[in-house]
Every structure is written in C-alpha cells, then in structure tokens.
Chain A
C-alpha cells in the first residue's frame, strides 16, 4: 500500500521509492534492495504497477514504476480499509481515554 500510494501521483523509480519511504517515515520504515525489488516485481506480476525503462537526458536510464488502473482500484480499496481500520482504532482508544 505504501508503494502504491507513493507512485499514485507520478511514476517513480525504485531508489526514489525507497528514499521517499525512508524520508516520510522519518527513517522508521526502510526497505533494502533485497526486499524492495522482490516486492515491486510481485506487484508488477499482479498487474498493479507497471515498470518501464525511461531514458532521460543527462541521466542513466532508469526503470520507472507507475500505477495501473487495477493498482489504482486496489489502492483505493486498501486506503478505504486502512482508514476504516484507523478510525476503528481511534474510536476504541478515544473511548478508553475519554
């Protein structure tokens, strides 16, 4: 879900994804190459994301991943589920604290 969310706005390459996860989680969540790429490939196999080699000027070619239509649906579903889950947790914890 994290990865899907990260590439929702625009396609990103693997290193960018791992940096973003690391930065946005404040270093709490970190993917190593050995676990990130198998995950990416798995998502790609499932047809949720699609990788494509892109060659930009003054840069080496990189593989950018973008969200597929199916991936977008999955992400929406997962987000909804996640939000409901969080809301549920919140309601439970708020009730206890109140």
Chain B
C-alpha cells in the first residue's frame, strides 16, 4: 500500500497543527486516497496510474494547506487529549483543570476525604496563625514602632524580675540622654489603686480605667488628640489646673461624640478636671482595655526623692540607634540620676547603689506581648503537625490513586506524553484538591477564630485585634500551595520516572519498592502523632498537677468578690475609713445566705503586685543590703477565714488591733519557716518595712497563698491591719481601695449581687462596685493559658491520632487487598489463618514500632520547648512517654486488626482465580 500518510503530512506541515489533530486528518484523508486507489485498481488501471490518479485528489502541493488554514487555525481548539505535549506550565491549564475535575468527579469519595482532611489541617493552621499574627507578629499601631522601647530599671541584686522606673530617672534621661528622642512615664497600677478612678459629675457615678502619664508620653507614641489639644508641659506642672484627655470610646459613650465636651468638667476621684481633648478613634495604649481617661502626672521635679520605682517608661530612640546604645546611655546616666536627687527618709542612697540598678530596655512590643509568644508557638507547632499528618494522609491517598492509574499514565507516556507533561497534570490535580481544601480551610479558620477568641485565655494581649487580615490570607494561600505541591510531588517522584507500559500493565502482587514510600509516610505519621500526643499528655499532667495544688483558699466558687474605692470627698478622714468599711462588711454579712465577709487590699489572683522589703528584728542584713521582698496585704478581721486560708499558729487580727493601731502583723507560713524554722517560733518576733518604721509583732502565722497563679510558687506575705501608722511621724494610713470577699452558696448569681449593691449603697449611695467576679473566675482565669493550650493540643492530638490510625489502616488494608493472591497461595499451601493474621498485624505493627521509636526521639528533642508551660511534670516524663506510646500502639493494633481479619477470610480459590 502506498504511503499516503507521508504525502498528506508533508502537505499539512506548514499548518503546524496540534499533533493529534494532524494525525487524525492524515488518517482520514489517507483512507480516502486508499479507497480511491483500490477502486481505480479494481477498474483495471495499473498500480502506477492508480497511484498518480489518487494523488491528484490532493491537487497540488499547497491547496489542502491553504483551504484548511482558515478552518483549522481559526476554529480549531485543542481537544482534551490527556498526556499531550505542552509548551509551558500554564498552557492547557483550562483543559487540565477540566480533566482534573472529571477525574475527581469520577472518584468523589477520594475527593471529599482528601479535601476535608486538608480543610481541617489548613483551617486549623490558618486559624492559629491568625492568632499568632495578630498577637505576636503584627507591629504596634504607632508610627515607626521599631523605635519604641519600654525603659525600666531592675534591681539586679534584689529581684531581677522587678522592672519599674522612678521619676528621677525620667528627668535625667529626658534632660541628659543622647539616644532618646523622647521619653514619657506612666502609672496605671500603683499601690492603692488598680488603675481605676471614680468619675462623678455625670448622670451616674462610674469607675473607669485611667492612666496617669507625663505630658510627653503621647508625643513619644506620636499620637495627637483627634479633637482639642494635647497636654502641654504646663498641664503637667505641679499646681496647674487639673485636666484630662478622653479616649474616643469613652467620649462616644459619655458625650455621644459631642465636640462641646471639650472644656467641660469631669469630677475624677472628687477633683474637678477640665476636658481638653479626645484621642483618635484607633488609638490604643499598649494592651490596656477600656481605657477612659489620661491624666497628667504632675510630677514635681523639685520635690523628687530617689527610689520611687512605681512607674513604667516608654521612650522613642533616635533613628538608627540600637537597643545596645540606649542601654549603654542609660547605664551611664543611672549613677548621675541617683546622685542628683535627694534621698527619701529611711532609704539611704547606698541601698540603691548596692541593689545593682540596671536599665532594662526592650522593644515596646515585647512588653505588650510578653511571654505569650511561647505558648502560641507551641499551639502553632501542634496544629502545624496535624496539617503535616493530614498532608501525609492525603499524599497516601494520592499514591494509592496514582498506583491505580499506572496503566493510564503508562499508556499516555507511550502515546507520546512527556514525563514533564504527566507531572504537570498530576500536579494540577493535587493543586486543585489543595485549593479546594484551602478554600474550605479558610471558611473553617474564620469559624475557628471566633471560637478561639471567645475561649482565648484572659490576658492574651491584643485579643481584640484578632481576625483574618492580608497576612493571614497570604499565609493561607502559601500553606495551600505548599500542601498541594507536597501532595503532587510525592506521586511524581514515585511514578514520574517509571512509566513504561510493561510496568504499568496488570500487576497483581505488590512490590516492596512500590509499597516503601507509603510505609515511610505512615511511619512519619505515627511519629508525628506520637510527638503531639506526648505534648498533650504532658499538658494533661500539668493541668492535673495544677488543679491539685493547694491554692491557699477554699471552695473559690462560693466566694464573691468586688472592688470599691472610697473617695476623699465621701470620707475625708483616714481614721474613719475602717469604720466605714466595717459598716459595709456588717451590712453584707446580714444578707441572707452569706456565711462570712472580709475586706482586703487585694485578693489572690487579681493581678495586684504590692511588695516591699521586710526586715526582721532578730536578723542582720549586710550593710546597705535590702532585705527580701514580701507581698503586702492589708486585711480586715475575718478576711482570712472567709477566704478559707488557715491560721496555723497564733490568732487572726481583730477590730481592736485595727482601731487601736496596735503594732501587730501576720506572716505567711513560708516566711515564718524561712526565718524562724517553724510557725510557732515566729510568734512574738518583730518585723518592719523600713528602718524608720516602727517594729510590729507577729501575732499569727497563716497558710501560704498562691496569689500569682497555681504554677507560680506562693510568695511569702505579710498581712497588716487596714489602718496603721508606720511611725509616729508618718501619716495615718487606711485602705481606700480594696476588695470585699463574701462567702455564700449564691456566689456568682445576679440576685446576690443586687442584694450586695443594696447593702453597700445603704452605707454610701454614691459608691460604685467594680470588678465583680467570683474567686473561681479568677482561679479558672489563672489556669486559662494551661487549659487553652491543653484543649488546643488535645484537639490536635486527637486529630493526629485519628488521622494516624486512618493512615495506618489504609496502608495495611491496601496492602492486604494487593496481596490477596499471595495470601491465597499461602493459605492454599497450608498456612493457618492465625499465621496470616499475625503476618498482617506484624506488618502494621512493625511500621508502628519504627514510628514510635522516631516519635519518642523527636518528642525528647521537642518537648523542652514546652517546659515554660509545664508544671509538676518534666518534659521527659517517662510515665507520659510510656503511657502515650502504649495508647498509640493499641490504636495502631486496632487499625491493623480490621484489615487482618479481612485477610484471614480470603478464599484461596477466589484469590487464585485472579490469574
């Protein structure tokens, strides 16, 4: 038969058609010519004549091409031919996507499982990243945030953890510093207040959050009022008329955004202040929530005495200067500062020189974010691991599918598809799955974020900023693409190189080599799951340890607390304050269902931090050395018994002690043991806070209280009466700001609070009640970081366990299905069901054991990152490691059991009929 195709192809060549289309046309036309040729032969023509006559049909060299040009070029679109050669990655993307969609629709089960698995992994990861991004990664919302530092002073020799700044340092740094553009100091939490002030003069009395700041604090942050004017240095000078700046929210709330608020007068803690401005809407002071007012501190430079470390500093460094330069500058200025101002009576300069004061200058963001980053990164790591496991699972599914499509791939390769082309096609399928998973994941993430914000531990900074912003979206896209690539690349690496028809044909057994990758993936899965489960296990042990810690108070759910503040305008005389407070205490005790009531300057876990150096009469301290810090609490009689804190030796304070100002005091048990060996030994000993103060006799020793959280050791404490005079020369001192604690089975109910308010207002109708919490709320809040991490890691661990088990199950079960014939032969040759069962289980168990070994090694290396979150358990706790490994092994066995029991039901005859 003459070579028609060659003739036709030569004429089609100038058209440069798609190869398949070209072949098709050549096929059809050559048949026509062959038919014509045969007909001519049949009619008696010679072969030669017939050939030429048939060829005439093509009419010259270029007619066919000319006529076809318009049709084929203009109208012809590539048909979907899988495996066709393609110019670049994006060419034929539509066709590949269509093809991929068709392939996925053909196996909806695979698609749904893969997409959901990825959605869970990606959703979780994106959600946690959303939190991490808003809380830790985003810069502070001020201009040039990188120039802002928090600047404080630490007494290294006394307590390096303490960091505050005193007015003399502020003045010195401001006047003589070379590195600081600006510096401002503020106080929002000093000894007798929790940063709140009483505002009257508006329709309702109210307790709001206020910040006392020097006039240059806002300019340091580069914030100007949106309305009115900023503080001037004269507003901040002592004796100047009192002024106040409002935050935007407070202005909206109290003045409905009325600009005429400027110039009006607010009564703050009994003092009239003129409103001079309103801060911008988006202004936030660090992480202070519900800030209402900023008030000028009005520090008096001429009356400043050294050592009043009750402020926090913020400075803006000059552009291009570093933290190290700033620290060096401050180090140089500190001695100047100490020597330029007079000392306080009873606090000789030498004490500060010996305390090794050192500047602590940190990026301002670190002060806001604190150590929260650590626990968020742990959660991020956990959820990221789940994503990895999910990826491995889906990759395994892809492998199984690609395995099943070996024949198809081989066929396409044989038909001329390049490896590159096949790889691109596989990759596009995985990207399609990845994108769908990512899209579902993003939806899940936005739902999860709401959940996360609602359940976020109290004190998580910037929690209100959490949301899905551009960085989170970029991250989501990045994770999705990464995952998709990972999914696509594994089958490509596995199969891309070995697509020949002979291999791609029917394969009934299972080769070790082909199974190897999947076994490796499962091993990785088991290892990752184990690491996560060990982390959750450690968190569970931590949580158990924390809830078994004796907090030093009893049944916190029965304790209702609220704060009051007695302004001077209501009770000007210090000496009358305790009577006023006793009166309220008695009114509260008379409320039905209340078993006891107490009053104190602070309650455990409320975040107050009032400490001072306490020295004992019978202890000597090196010359100029400060005695250790103790927590100071001022309490009413009955406070300790209400709280459930036991009196171990001696007696409680009485109202007589209080009113007669007897020089008595209570100390905590660990203070007593530290100094005198036993609680009873401490009775009768005398202590004081300052060398100019009078000695006070210890009349009772009380149980230790964990006031900073269950994971922090109890600080040794000293309990003072609520009315005292430190020395004959000192002013009488009462507790104007304090918390009432009420023990009642009705704690936490609104009806109890209504009656409480009525009781308080029967004594003073103008007294607002603030911080209304049960102690249990504070207790749970103190555990929130642990429980949040626990829940997150727990969820991650459970997902990892489930996904790991599914992964193991699918690999073993697939391997059993592939080995059906082999198993049949074995059984035909006399293998017992037991042998087959054991063989299958052993295969899975071997993978599990390897995974466990890798996982334990990984966990040993990684759990130390958890150590800041752990309590009462070591990062390498053997019990957790063993327990979790056993749990995982048990689940793995279960995952193998199902396919193994299927394997023993293999009928040898059926299996052999596969041949």
A34 touches B63 (CB 8 A): yes
Contact flags (1/0) for A15-45 with B, using CB distance below 8 Å?
1001000000000000011111110011001
Q: How far is the CB of A64 from chain B (nearest CB, A)?
A: 11
Chain A residue with the shortest CB-CB distance to B33: A33
A62 touches B31 (CB 8 A): yes
Q: How far is the CB of B9 from chain A (nearest CB, A)?
A: 14
A32 touches B71 (CB 8 A): no
**Residue A60 at the chain B interface, CB threshold 8 Å:** yes
12 CB < 8 A contacts A-B: A14-B29, A15-B31, A33-B29, A33-B33, A33-B64, A34-B57, A34-B60, A36-B32, A38-B68, A45-B71, A45-B76, A62-B28
B57 touches A33 (CB 8 A): yes
**Residue A63 at the chain B interface, CB threshold 8 Å:** yes
A63 vs B29: C-alpha distance when bound (angstroms): 10
**Which A residues are CB-close (under 8 A) to B67?**
34-35, 38
**Residue B75 at the chain A interface, CB threshold 8 Å:** yes
Chain B: residues with CB nearer than 8 A to chain A?
25, 27-29, 31-33, 35-36, 56-60, 63-64, 67-68, 71-72, 75-76
A34 touches B72 (CB 8 A): no
B31 touches A45 (CB 8 A): no
Task: Decide if the interface of chain A is mainly helix, strand, loop or mixed.
Answer: helix
**Which A residues are CB-close (under 8 A) to B68?**
37-38, 41
Q: How far is the CB of A80 from chain B (nearest CB, A)?
A: 27
Q: How far is the CB of A44 from chain B (nearest CB, A)?
A: 9
Q: How far is the CB of A45 from chain B (nearest CB, A)?
A: 4
**Which B residues are CB-close (under 8 A) to A41?**
25, 68, 71-72
| In-complex Cβ contact of A42 among B56, B63, B64, B71 (8 A) | B71
A60 vs B64: C-alpha distance when bound (angstroms): 24
Give the number of residues in A that approach B within 8 Å (Cβ atoms): 17
Q: How far is the CB of B429 from chain A (nearest CB, A)?
A: 28
**Which B residues are CB-close (under 8 A) to A14?**
28-29, 31-32
A33 vs B31: C-alpha distance when bound (angstroms): 11
| In-complex Cβ contact of B32 among A15, A35, A38 (8 A) | A15
**Which A residues are CB-close (under 8 A) to B25?**
37, 41
Q: How far is the CB of A59 from chain B (nearest CB, A)?
A: 10
| In-complex Cβ contact of B58 among A34, A45, A60, A62 (8 A) | A34
**Which A residues are CB-close (under 8 A) to B58?**
32-34
Q: How far is the CB of B677 from chain A (nearest CB, A)?
A: 103
A38 vs B74: C-alpha distance when bound (angstroms): 13
A11 vs B75: C-alpha distance when bound (angstroms): 23
**Which A residues are CB-close (under 8 A) to B75?**
42, 45
**Which A residues are CB-close (under 8 A) to B59?**
32-35
Chain A residue with the shortest CB-CB distance to B77: A45
In the complex with contacts A15-B35, A35-B67, A45-B71, A63-B57 CB distance below 8 A: no
Task: For chain A, residues 70 to 97, give those with C-beta under 8 angstroms from any C-beta of chain B.
Answer: none
Chain A: residues with CB nearer than 8 A to chain B?
13-15, 18, 32-38, 41-42, 45, 60, 62-63
B36 touches A15 (CB 8 A): yes
In the complex with contacts A15-B35, A42-B71, A60-B31, A34-B76 CB distance below 8 A: no
Chain A residue with the shortest CB-CB distance to B65: A34
A38 vs B72: C-alpha distance when bound (angstroms): 9
6 tightest Cβ-Cβ pairs between the two chains A and B: A38-B67, A33-B57, A45-B75, A34-B59, A15-B35, A34-B64
**Which A residues are CB-close (under 8 A) to B64?**
33-34, 37-38
A63 touches B71 (CB 8 A): no
Interface centre among B57, B58, B72 (most CB of A within 10 A): B57
Contacts A37-B32, A37-B68 known; list 5 others, CB within 8 Å: A15-B31, A32-B59, A37-B28, A60-B31, A63-B27
A35 vs B67: C-alpha distance when bound (angstroms): 7
Task: Decide if the interface of chain B is mainly helix, strand, loop or mixed.
Answer: helix
Q: How far is the CB of B98 from chain A (nearest CB, A)?
A: 20
A35 touches B71 (CB 8 A): no
A42 vs B67: C-alpha distance when bound (angstroms): 10
A63 vs B23: C-alpha distance when bound (angstroms): 13
A35 vs B36: C-alpha distance when bound (angstroms): 15
A35 touches B35 (CB 8 A): no
A38 vs B73: C-alpha distance when bound (angstroms): 12
| In-complex Cβ contact of A37 among B29, B35, B56, B60 (8 A) | B29
A74 vs B72: C-alpha distance when bound (angstroms): 22
**Which B residues are CB-close (under 8 A) to A13?**
31
**Which A residues are CB-close (under 8 A) to B76?**
45
Chain A residue with the shortest CB-CB distance to B72: A41
A33 vs B57: C-alpha distance when bound (angstroms): 5
Chain A residue with the shortest CB-CB distance to B68: A38
Q: How far is the CB of B442 from chain A (nearest CB, A)?
A: 41
A98 vs B57: C-alpha distance when bound (angstroms): 45
| In-complex Cβ contact of A33 among B27, B32, B71, B72 (8 A) | B32
Chain A residue with the shortest CB-CB distance to B57: A33
A63 vs B30: C-alpha distance when bound (angstroms): 12
Q: How far is the CB of B324 from chain A (nearest CB, A)?
A: 75
A34 vs B35: C-alpha distance when bound (angstroms): 15
Q: How far is the CB of A30 from chain B (nearest CB, A)?
A: 10
A32 vs B128: C-alpha distance when bound (angstroms): 71
Q: How far is the CB of B777 from chain A (nearest CB, A)?
A: 73
**Which A residues are CB-close (under 8 A) to B29?**
14, 33, 37
Interface centre among A35, A41, A60 (most CB of B within 10 A): A41
Q: How far is the CB of A63 from chain B (nearest CB, A)?
A: 5
A16 vs B569: C-alpha distance when bound (angstroms): 114
**Which A residues are CB-close (under 8 A) to B35?**
15
In the complex with contacts A14-B32, A18-B32, A62-B31, A38-B57 CB distance below 8 A: no
Q: How far is the CB of B585 from chain A (nearest CB, A)?
A: 94
Interface centre among B25, B32, B59, B72 (most CB of A within 10 A): B32
A63 vs B35: C-alpha distance when bound (angstroms): 13
Interface centre among B28, B33, B36 (most CB of A within 10 A): B28
A18 vs B39: C-alpha distance when bound (angstroms): 13
| In-complex Cβ contact of B57 among A32, A45, A62 (8 A) | A32
Q: How far is the CB of A55 from chain B (nearest CB, A)?
A: 12
A39 vs B75: C-alpha distance when bound (angstroms): 13
A15 vs B76: C-alpha distance when bound (angstroms): 23
A28 vs B410: C-alpha distance when bound (angstroms): 51
Q: How far is the CB of B293 from chain A (nearest CB, A)?
A: 77
A35 touches B63 (CB 8 A): yes
Interface centre among A13, A33, A38 (most CB of B within 10 A): A33
B31 touches A38 (CB 8 A): no
**Which B residues are CB-close (under 8 A) to A15?**
31-32, 35-36
**Which A residues are CB-close (under 8 A) to B31?**
13-15, 60, 62-63
A39 vs B57: C-alpha distance when bound (angstroms): 14
A37 vs B30: C-alpha distance when bound (angstroms): 12
A15 vs B57: C-alpha distance when bound (angstroms): 11
Chain B residue with the shortest CB-CB distance to A31: B57
**Which B residues are CB-close (under 8 A) to A45?**
71, 75-76
**Which A residues are CB-close (under 8 A) to B36?**
15
A13 vs B35: C-alpha distance when bound (angstroms): 11
A34 vs B32: C-alpha distance when bound (angstroms): 11
A62 vs B72: C-alpha distance when bound (angstroms): 20
**Which B residues are CB-close (under 8 A) to A35?**
59, 63, 67
A32 touches B56 (CB 8 A): yes
A18 vs B76: C-alpha distance when bound (angstroms): 24
A90 vs B28: C-alpha distance when bound (angstroms): 41
A31 vs B502: C-alpha distance when bound (angstroms): 46
Q: How far is the CB of A43 from chain B (nearest CB, A)?
A: 10
Chain B residue with the shortest CB-CB distance to A33: B57
Chain A residue with the shortest CB-CB distance to B62: A34
Chain A residue with the shortest CB-CB distance to B64: A34
Q: How far is the CB of A39 from chain B (nearest CB, A)?
A: 8
**Which B residues are CB-close (under 8 A) to A62?**
28, 31
A63 touches B28 (CB 8 A): yes
Chain A residue with the shortest CB-CB distance to B60: A34
A34 vs B58: C-alpha distance when bound (angstroms): 5
Q: How far is the CB of B25 from chain A (nearest CB, A)?
A: 7
**Which B residues are CB-close (under 8 A) to A18?**
32
A37 vs B57: C-alpha distance when bound (angstroms): 11
A38 vs B250: C-alpha distance when bound (angstroms): 80
